Amino acid sequence: MLRHWPLHVQPADVAILVHGVHHVVPLASVNHVLERFFQDVANQTALQSMQSSLISHAVRKAQPDDLDGSYAGYFLPEPTWREDVLNSLDRWRRRRIGSVFALMFDALPQSNPEVFAQAHQEATSRYFRLVAGLNNVACISLAARQCLESRLRRQPLANCIVVPPGADALPVVARARPATPSFVMLGTVEPRKHHKTVLEAFERLWRSGYAWPLTIIGAPGWHDQEFLRSLRTRATAEPQRLVWLEAANDQEIAQAFAKATAVLYVSEQEGYGVPAVEALAAGCPVVAHHSLPALAGLSPAGQIRLSDVTPDSVLAAAQAAADAERDHVLSNEAKSHALPSWRDFAPRLAAWIAETLAVQRGT
């Protein structure tokens, strides 16, 4: 989003809040630092290094009360549970609610508490209350907007737009499908992503003599610790069958997609589901739940859509995708879609903000 932000449409700086002080960094400098960051593995050390590097490019420091006199508006482009950031958002909301903007991804900890720990619901509730109380919210999918209006606000929001995220963030890597079918899962390892279900399906395949490897890419999220330990142990003991990359950069993800028979993205609770459309953009077939918001409005070309996510349905989908004739068809279909791009995403947000601020000024 920041890489493609049109400063001629809506000027913007980035304020990084550290120990109660906003470090204001020009957008161009932020992009320079983030480009380097996403070329490396995004581990905790890299995150700390990124923050230090960003702060070193600051052109000014400001207390929270000093910013609203210098800028036309405040835009929170991502969910956050940090109390200091939420305090800043609340301060702007109370003073100048018409000039406060947020981008909402989903409200799953509130709308689908059955797939989250209680701590998630408690930690996230303030963020969702604040966003629900704003006048200007952009959502990444129609499903996210419906959740905002029907579950959080319980009434329509006049200035709410839907802007789908881009599918074109990953580097382009030529497809090189292996002789042996192989599959990839991308996403945080947590219950709603159905890693247990997929593993059960592949256990059946392996016991039946199919040597089809499964690569899981994603950091450990909220899950029972026994499952995470067993997943690490299994991946270490049988790397020819199961690989778990707990951290990967964009190049590694693109290379995994290029070598995969299909990407398995079978979550039933998502605000969007970027990995599914990123896989299609890379020409890789996708196995996904039919309700995935990212696939809404797309033809089923290049996909196997599941009505229920069970070991049986995942097993059948993997076998179908691995069939040589079906694989050829799906792979050819995958790149047939006109998918959203980040080059469109950022200008649409910037134009929406600029138009809203112009109305506020009466111009």
CATH at 268: 3.40.50.2000
In this structure, the answer to whether residues 246 and 298 fall within a common structural domain is: yes
Residue 63, domain member (yes or no): yes
Q: What is the pLDDT of residue 37?
A: 76
In this structure, the answer to whether residues 71 and 210 fall within a common structural domain is: no
Residue 29, domain member (yes or no): yes
User: Both tokens of residue 307?
Assistant: 């009505």
In this structure, the answer to whether residues 265 and 349 fall within a common structural domain is: no
pLDDT band, very low/low/confident/very high, at 101 (cuts 50, 70, 90): very high
In this structure, the answer to whether residues 202 and 264 fall within a common structural domain is: yes
The share of the chain scoring above pLDDT 90, in percent, equals: 80
In this structure, the answer to whether residues 59 and 118 fall within a common structural domain is: yes
Assess whether pLDDT exceeds 60 at residue 42. Answer: no
Mean pLDDT of 278-306: 97
Mean pLDDT of 31-40: 78
Assess whether pLDDT exceeds 70 at residue 250. Answer: yes
Predicted TM-score (pTM) of the model is 0.91
Assess whether pLDDT exceeds 70 at residue 199. Answer: yes
Residue 97, domain member (yes or no): yes
Residue 44, domain member (yes or no): yes
Interatomic CA distance for residues 234 and 41, integer angstroms: 23
pLDDT band, very low/low/confident/very high, at 325 (cuts 50, 70, 90): very high
User: Both tokens of residue 126?
Assistant: 């303030």
In the chain, the number of structural domains is 2
Assess whether pLDDT exceeds 60 at residue 117. Answer: yes
CA distances from 84 to 118, 126, 254 (A): 22, 12, 35
In this structure, the answer to whether residues 202 and 291 fall within a common structural domain is: yes
Mean pLDDT of 197-216: 96
Q: What is the pLDDT of residue 76?
A: 97
In this structure, the answer to whether residues 83 and 110 fall within a common structural domain is: yes
CA distances from 272 to 71, 86, 177, 244, 269 (A): 31, 24, 27, 24, 9
DSSP for 103-172, please give it. EE---HHHH-GGGS-HHHHHHHHHHHHHHHT-SEEEESSHHHHHHIIIIIISS--TEEEE-PPPS--SPP
Cα-based angle 264, 46, 196 (whole degrees, multiple of 5):
25
pLDDT band, very low/low/confident/very high, at 40 (cuts 50, 70, 90): low
Q: What is the pLDDT of residue 97?
A: 94
Residue 81, domain member (yes or no): yes
Which domain range does residue 235 map to? 183-334
Interatomic CA distance for residues 319 and 209, integer angstroms: 13
96: domain CATH number is 3.40.50
Residue 172, domain member (yes or no): no
Q: What is the pLDDT of residue 137?
A: 98
Residue 173, domain member (yes or no): no
Interatomic CA distance for residues 133 and 335, integer angstroms: 40
Assess whether pLDDT exceeds 80 at residue 48. Answer: no
Residue 175, domain member (yes or no): no
- Mean pLDDT of all residues belonging to the chain: 92
In this structure, the answer to whether residues 67 and 106 fall within a common structural domain is: yes
Whether 68 and 74 have beta carbons less than 8 Å apart is answered as: yes
